[in-house]
Structures are given as C-alpha cells and as structure tokens.
Structure 1
Amino acid sequence: MSTEERREQLRAALTDAAERTIAREGLAALKARDLAREVGCALGAIYTAFPDLDALILTVNLRTLLLFDRTIAAVRTAPGPGEGAPSRADREAAVEDLVRLAVAYLRFAGEHPARWRALFQHRMTTAPPDWYLREQVRLFRYIEAPLRVLRPDLPEAERSLVARTLFSATHGIVSLGLDEKLMALSEPVLRRQIETVVGALGRGLAP
C-alpha cells in the first residue's frame, strides 16, 4: 500500500470517528487526542491526514450537508409551470413547496440534532474553503426553484437573497424551538409556526 493510500485510509477513519463523536456527544466533545486513541494512530499522525481540526470538522459537516441534501431532495415538490406566466394554482403550489422544504429542515434538525448544531457552532479563524461554500450555495437552489414561480421577474442575485432570507426565518424558528434552555417547543407546534410564517412570506412574494 502506498503512502497516499495509507493517508486516505487514515482520513476516512478519522472522519468516521469524528462523525460518531459529533453525532453522539456534540462538537464540543471532539478532541484530537481522543480521536487518535479511537483510530489507533499517533496524535501527530492526524495532521498528516488533515492540516488542522478545522479541516476535519468541515469534512464531517460536508457529510451532514450531503445527508441533508438527500433529505430535501426527497421532498415531493410540484413541477414548474409550463410556458407563459405562472397561474394562481402554480403560485399556490410553489408556496406549499416552500413550506414542505422548511418542514423537512425542521425534521432533519430534530432527527440529527448534534450534527445539525455542529454546522453552525463551528467557528473558523479563516474563511471556509470554496468547496464548502459551493455546497452551501447549492442547497439554496431548492428554495430558489419555487421562488422562480412566485417571482419570475426577480434577478438571480435578488432571488438568492430572498432564498437566504426565507432560510434564516426558518432556521430562527427551528433553533429557538429546539433549544432546551430557551423554549423547547414540540415538533407539532414548531411545524405550525413554520407553516404560518413561511406560508405568509411565500404568499406575500407573489404579485
């Protein structure tokens, strides 16, 4: 086995171990020394596979984003309108799509709470790498699709901004609702909040 193959094996083993730790105990429990012990390597060997723990955490977070991608890709959404201006039924279907996507986000956060929190708890001293930012941007396209139906007149940059705004509103509801130290609301209550807020925002966007 070549040196590069051994390095890739170590990368995979460290990523698996870090992923298990984060999913089980949260991001704060991730320690380099514990990872080395679990994987069976020297502490310094970690930094032959990853330049630092930031890179390892981003690799785990990428797996979480891909898992979330599969979750929302499975959400059944209405097909876009055909030729011509969207009808009222098209616009209402687009609003329902936005609500379904937001509810899927709530469900994902509830099913994978530690992994979901790690996406937002990790603070880097430098800007995230381009490959990680591209994955984040790609996920916003699920929101942008129904927005094209609601506001086909919006330039792409403005549509992207609206998508991020809708995500921020949803994320705020989910974050506060799942925070046990603040309000810890039940899933049905959070779902009703999301349906009310996202539905109202979506209908308000339609001309």
Structure 2
Amino acid sequence: MSPRTADPAVRTRLIEAAARLLEAEGRQALTTRRLAAEVGVSTMAVYTHFGGMDELVTEVVRESYARLGRALAGVQETADPVTDLMALCRAYRSNALANTSLYATMLGFTPTSDDQRWGAQALQAPLSAIRRCLASGRFRPAEPLLLAHQAWCGVHGLVTLELGGYFFPSSLAEQCFEGLLRDFAVGAGDTVEAAARSLEASRSSRPGPAAAD
C-alpha cells in the first residue's frame, strides 16, 4: 500500500468531496470514479478507506455529527446557563456555516439507528444547559428534552434558510438569529432583561468551527 493511499488526510478529503457531491447532485452523482477524480486519487483509495459507497455515505453522516459534537464540546460552561445555551446555539450555527456540505448531509437522509444515536449524543450539551436553566429558575418548569428539540428546530430552521440564501438582505440572518436566541429564552420563562444580558454575554463565547480530526 502506498503512503499516499494510507494517508488519513485522503480519507477526510474523500468524505468532504462526497458531501459536496451529495449536496450538489444527490446520491446518483456519488460514484467511485467521480469521487476519485474529485479528490485526485485512484479508485482503489475509495475501497481502501471505505469498502464501498454505502459505507462512505454512512461515514459522511457520521463525520457531520462528529464535527457538530466537537463544536458544541468547545463551548465552556459558565455560571450562567442561559448564556451557555445561547453559546451552544452559536456554535451550532458556526459549524453549519463552516461545513455547509457536511451539514446538508447530516439531516439529508432517512435517519438510521446510527443517525439517531449520533444526533442524541450531539443533543446532550444543549440538553444539559437547558436542565441547568430549569434548575436555576430562569426557565419555567417544562420537559427538558422537549425544550431542547424546540431550540434545535428554531436554530436549524434559521440556518437552513441562511444557507439557502433566503434572507433578503443576507444581513437579516444575524438579526433574526439574535432575536431567536433572546425570544426562545423569554418564551421558556426568562425575563426580558436577564435574557438580554445572557445574549450579550454569549456573543463573546464563540469557539472556532470544528474541523476534521
């Protein structure tokens, strides 16, 4: 086996190229020959790293969740759980904007048991922050998992519209995102004043986007 074929960087490049093809043209565009040409490797490299296309697609989805998980893990916990929740939402958005093709594939297929497990793992950080918001009295009593999914729905919807270019002008995306974070906290029971302070604090908690291992 040549050093180039064994290079872990080739595996990452294959995953990222596969994500771009899946996003742009769908599953039918993902062939061994096309992918190898995109990356500049032999077709054997695809089989060496993944065995075949089905395994590669699984790895694309796994990598998308892995990068999201690393982005969320980069948010440091503070004494303010609402600030932390908002910072996690910012990390989610930053990761999506930095890894657009991988993000598009993350929820682009009928979820398998693996997808559900990876998604549940990624949700642990915001779920923990929401439990702390409830315990602190900032949020009114509610089911934490439901609140976590409601936050996910809001942020995912905004990011999807933003990536699709559906904000006119595009600068409205940032304003809508800021409002979404504040209004979610207020809707969950926080005061307007406390939510505004947490929003301001969360602006300084912006870890860099997650990259490949």
TM-score (norm 1): 0.66
Counterpart position of 2:76: 76
Indicate the larger mover: 55-64 or 164-173: 55-64
Equivalent pair of 2:19/2:105 in contact (CA under 8 Å): yes
Q: How big is the shift at 1:167?
A: 0.8
Q: Is 1:113 aligned with 2:100?
A: yes
Report the aligned-residue RMSD: 3.5
* Aligned-partner Cα distance in 2 for 1:36–1:177: 31
Q: Is 1:179 aligned with 2:164?
A: yes
Q: Is 1:203 aligned with 2:189?
A: yes
* Aligned-partner Cα distance in 2 for 1:51–1:128: 19
Count of residues in correspondence between the two structures: 176
Which residue, 93, 100, 115 being the options, matches 2:87? 100
> Percent identity among equivalent residues?
22
Equivalent pair of 1:14/1:39 in contact (CA under 8 Å): no
* Distance change (3 Å), C-alpha of 1:114 and 1:183: farther
* Aligned-partner Cα distance in 2 for 1:58–1:183: 35
The one-letter code matched in structure 2 to 1:62 is R
Structure 1 regions of 5+ residues with no counterpart? 2-7, 80-92
Q: How big is the shift at 1:61?
A: 2.2
Aligned residue for 1:203, secondary structure, equals coil
Aligned residue for 2:78, secondary structure, equals coil
* Distance change (3 Å), C-alpha of 1:97 and 1:14: closer
Give the structure with higher Rg (CA): 1
Give a deviation string over 1:14-39, Cα, whole Å, max 9, x none: 6632313435x652345213024443
Which residue, 142, 145, 165 being the options, matches 1:160? 145
Counterpart position of 1:194: 180
* Aligned-partner Cα distance in 1 for 2:11–2:84: 38
* Aligned-partner Cα distance in 1 for 2:118–2:132: 23
Counterpart position of 1:149: 132
Counterpart position of 2:13: 16
Give a deviation string over 1:46-94, Cα, whole Å, max 9, x none: 6797576343122122122222222121112225xxxxxxxxxxxxx22
Give a deviation string over 1:161-196, Cα, whole Å, max 9, x none: 321121111111222233215646325324323332
